[in-house]
Structure 1
Amino acid sequence: MARRGGRKKKKTNIGAVLGAGVLGLLSLGMIAGFAWMWSRTDKTEIVKGTNCPATGATSATVVIFDATDQLSPTTLTDLKNQFREIVGSVEKGGYLRVVSLTGRPGEIPLMFDACNPGDGADLDSWTGNPEMARRKWKQAFDEPLAKLPDAIANGTEAKQSPIMAAIQKVKLTVFDGEIGAGRPNRLFVASDMIEHTDLYSQYKAGPDYEKYAGSLAAKEYRTPLGGVDVSLLYVERPNRKFESLAHVEFWKQWVERQDGSFVKVIRLAGLNLAGAEQ
């Protein structure tokens, strides 16, 4: 009888060990599952109003729309297409500012100012809410930006076109400021690029860089552009005294002599009669 009792006790101990092992494996599986879900959850703290990460934007992109002259419907359509590509290239957490160029040097009214909150494509239904993220992205980022080119279509018929002053203002306030310092910086200028101020006018001097270098504008608008990638969305005007290629070369020199990186020029479709010559 004693031996039978001993055997039953041994079987009970084995069952307990096996049960404990199964529970242990289940616990480890649950822990691993929670750890996986935690690792997949977006824990980035977002600043309300700008949708930027609390740790700072991952990059800074600025678009300057020249609103001093009217755009043709064809050019406006192409500008919308190019602007859509620029917006699409701003990554989640990347900052985008859109300003307009007026006739007063250094005056660049704000049109848009926020980070890309992400469209939810990087989320899944287990750890996030992709649909809610997409709705937020459309409301706060996509839809407001789609309307901006129309706001500058008719122009303001300004007497001056201070492009250099606008670029200088962007560099000092955005790229050198808290938003852009130490981050990848990109600048896009949508304009006919005809600099025209009291200090220097390409209507008179043409795209002669040496004439510009001898003007007061070269000192007033000197702008160190180190670390900034510059691209032009070039608006064509008829009856100018100089060729577009020579004009683009002037701006390439202007950017590079101030340590900036001239990336590309996109000649927008269409011909724009307003502001053609003075």
Structure 2
Amino acid sequence: MAVRGRRAKGRQTQQIFIGVFCFAFFFAVVGAAGYYFFAREPGPDKATLCPAKGPKGHYVLLVDKTDPLSFTQKQAFSVLLNDLVRKRLPEGYLLSVFVLGEDFKATAEPLVELCNPGSGENSSKWTSNVDWARRDYEQKFIKPLMLQAEALQGSKPAQASPIFEMLQLVAINGFRRQGVKGERRLILISDMLHNNGSFSMYRAAPDYSSFADTDYGRKTRADLQGVEAELYYLINTPQFQTRRNQKFWEEYFDKSGARLVEVFPLGG
């Protein structure tokens, strides 16, 4: 009887141990599932590929297509665009692409706006599907942006080049609309020779202070507060694209709250 009692007691202890183990395992599974569905970081926005908490920074590309690019300028533009999209734009940053055309009302909205979702190269193969990340990076980010290369290039000279108006629209429909708190950078590719019925840089060497005091100067002032600007000069008419012209734009950006940090000539 004593042996049989000890065996029964042992089975009872074993059953209790198994029960406790199953109970603990159940709650561990439920806890892990709850963490996965409720505590994990939300995925990127499906339309823009931006982080759920919003873009970490904002780059705006504005390309002047009021004059056709020369062969050499096309090569330089292709390299510049590829470098910006594939190498320069940090992961989680938004890129807005605008075009400067003859009619600024027709080009007021960006052609495309996408965040760099990351190529998956720095992701752990244990926690991420690197192949899927790479596919999304190429198909949903790189491809749509590179398809804009042709739309950003003009085929014939335009009658007007409303640079001031487009900079206002970039400030409104680009930087202000998105309201990104991180780094804000404007990359501008243009000959920087504004030309319309109200003001033309082909008539006389511009002086910013005199221009800023005119009705048109006050009307077209842009709000680019906190923006760092890069200027890529399309050298088409060097006799007007002088140091005086560059100084005009340095003062323009300064008065707009921006800072002109780089100037690169694109000759040819």
Contact 2:58 2:184 (8 Å CA) reproduced: yes
* Residue 192 of structure 2 corresponds to residue 193 of structure 1: yes
Alignment of 1:61-80 (within 5 A): 61-80=59-78
Q: Distance in 2 between matches of 1:176 and 1:195?
A: 23
Alignment of 1:46-195 (within 5 A): 46-48=45-47, 50-88=48-86, 89-108=88-107, 110=109, 112-121=111-120, 122-177=122-177, 179-195=178-194
Pairs aligned (count):
266
Shift of residue 46, structure 1, vs aligned partner: 2.2
1:107-149 CA deviation, whole Å, 9 max, x = no partner?
4255642333523433222111111111111111112222323
Residue identity matched to 1:94: Y
Q: Distance in 2 between matches of 1:117 and 1:235?
A: 27
TM-score of the superposed pair, with normalisation by structure 2: 0.79
Shift of residue 186, structure 1, vs aligned partner: 1.2
Q: Distance in 2 between matches of 1:77 and 1:61?
A: 22
Q: Secondary structure at the match of 1:149?
A: coil
Dislocated runs of 4+, deviation >6 Å: none
Residue identity matched to 1:148: Q
Residue identity matched to 1:81: V
Q: Distance in 2 between matches of 1:214 and 1:117?
A: 41
Residue identity matched to 1:213: A
- Structure 2 counterpart of 1:258, from 256, 263, 268: 256
Q: 1:182 to 1:242 in 2, by over 3 A?
A: closer
Contact 1:119 1:130 (8 Å CA) reproduced: no
Shift of residue 167, structure 1, vs aligned partner: 0.8
Q: Give the structure 2 partner of residue 246 of structure 1.
A: 244
* Residue 204 of structure 2 corresponds to residue 205 of structure 1: yes
Q: Give the structure 1 partner of residue 15 of structure 2.
A: none
Q: CA RMSD in A?
A: 3.4
TM-score of the superposed pair, with normalisation by structure 1: 0.77
1:6-63 CA deviation, whole Å, 9 max, x = no partner?
xxxxxxxxxxxxx9xxx9xx99xx99x99x999xx76434243x22233222222111
Residue identity matched to 2:215: L
Q: Distance in 2 between matches of 1:53 and 1:93?
A: 6
Shift of residue 82, structure 1, vs aligned partner: 1.6
Q: Secondary structure at the match of 1:194?
A: coil
Residue identity matched to 1:145: L
Q: Give the structure 2 partner of residue 8 of structure 1.
A: none
Shift of residue 233, structure 1, vs aligned partner: 1.3
Shift of residue 194, structure 1, vs aligned partner: 0.3
- Which shifted more, 102-111 or 59-68? 102-111
Q: Percent identity?
A: 25
Shift of residue 181, structure 1, vs aligned partner: 4.4
Note the residue ranges of structure 2 that are not aligned, 5 or more in a row: 1-17
Contact 1:94 1:116 (8 Å CA) reproduced: yes
